[in-house]
Amino acid sequence: MIFMKMNTLLDCRRRSFFCLALALAFAPSCKDDDTEDKQRKDIERYITGSLNAEIDEKDGVYYVPLSVDSSSERVPVEQGDLIEVEYEAMVFGGGLFATSIDSVAIQNGLEPNHWGGAGAGVEVGVGKLIPGIDRGLLRMALGEQAIIIFPFTLGYGKKYVGLVPPQSALVFNVLITKVEKR
């Protein structure tokens, strides 16, 4: 197999997400009768095992940074900011259900989903997104990429939404591409 050196951040994101997707294929699945506690234990086992990362949990959201801006010019995401992101979203232990990356969406038979519309962005931390992703985004900054994982209670709950079954823990691979301060 030939491996080519990929220099762009997007290519790096795709490699990271590919590794995430492979690991998730082997993660334990969450059935309808699973409790939030069981999901949390499964998520923690996945983070420490498959991702080989430390558990970083705050407000019920698990956060695995893939790239961090430690410069003095870091632009953190704050409540009320209008942001644009590139993301891929999966059911924990399942498949991709949403993405903002056109080519990935097409390859998976999905419509690209740009939060707030392509180029429009979305206001973060004000309840326009599901709680788990809202809370995770508030830990990030412009240009940073992270995996954000949370149980069903911070996602779509006990209802079936699109390709997401009830009581599903969710995994988001997110890159912040724009932050407009409000």
Predicted confidence at residue 59, as pLDDT, reads: 85
**What's residue 6's pLDDT?**
28
What is 58-101 written as a DSSP string?
ETTEEEEEEE---STT--B--TT-EEEEEEEEEETTS-EEEES-
Please tell me the predicted confidence (pLDDT) of residue 27: 47
Residue with tokens 């940073």: 144
pLDDT of 116 reads: 64
Residues 6+ apart with CB under 8 A from 167: 30, 31, 32, 34, 152, 157, 158
CA dist 27 and 94 (Å) reads 8
Locus of tokens 């698990």: 62
Identify the CA nearest to 114 among candidates 135, 96, 94, 87: 87
- The pLDDT assigned to 26 comes to 43
pLDDT averaged per 10 residues in sequence order, the chain, 182 residues: 33 48 45 71 90 85 91 93 95 94 92 74 93 95 96 94 94 95 90
All structural domains of the chain: 9-180 (3.10.50.40)
pLDDT at 142: 96
Q: Write down the pLDDT at residue 72.
A: 87
Q: Whole-model pTM?
A: 0.79
pLDDT of 28 reads 46
d(CA 79, CA 115): 16
Q: Which two tokens stand for residue 99?
A: 């993405």
